[in-house]
Structure 1
């Protein structure tokens, strides 16, 4: 899990390339665990204190940063599964969109193009 999380931060902002299923899900789980730890910490701190405000600000900033990194990772994962990156917008559809999005990122790796020109973005 640590290697996948290092790859997540190492490829932060990188829309090119691919991300395997294992790395995608392990990085997603690691991000969820970090956010869960922040939420538990916030619960343990007294509400209304300066420390709780600091934790909320850090959590919101971390969430926004992780959101961007997760979007880039999803683009790479879709490319690895053989789909166009625009399929990530299917998740915006109500009800069925999130299910289709999960199915797409669960698809196995396809054979990759040999040249960078074949990767359309």
Structure 2
């Protein structure tokens, strides 16, 4: 749960690096919350809570992905590769799965050592 909350503490921080654990734990909790809100929306016949949550978490999720790309030594501009149909999402997935640079890189110190 700390991984999930730490993303909101860095709400719009696009600089620095994010570990794989931080990224994937946030996505896990994010998916769980989305599923619960989607189910709740189906029961009460409204998608307002779901849409509100998606809008509230869009910036932190993008910022986290950019920090994850920084950890692998890539510019945050690679985030836009996800806009390329089919291939883009696969490439972005591979970049987020890769291990981060073990040493300091131009985006900051290794978050594992901090």
Query: With structure 2 as the length reference, what TM-score do the two structures score?
Result: 0.86
Q: Give the match for residue 76 of structure 1.
A: 67
Aligned length: 107
Q: Which runs of 4+ in 1 moved over 3 A?
A: none
Root-mean-square deviation (Å): 1.5
Structure with a larger share of its residues in helix: 1
Cα shift readout 1:67-104 (whole Å, capped 9, x = no counterpart) = 21111001100001111111111111011110000001
Which of 95, 102, 106 aligns to 2:86? It is 95
1:112 lines up with 2:111 in the alignment: no
Aligned to 1:31: 30
Q: Which runs of structure 2 are paired with 1:2-81 in the superposition (5 Å)? A: 2-45=1-44, 47=45, 52=46, 56-81=47-72
Largest Rg, 1 or 2: 1
Q: Give ranges in structure 1 of 5+ residues lacking alignment.
A: none
Cα distance in 2, alignment partners of residues 94 and 16 from structure 1: 27
TM-score when scaled to structure 1?
A: 0.82
Deviates more, 1:57-66 or 1:5-14: 57-66
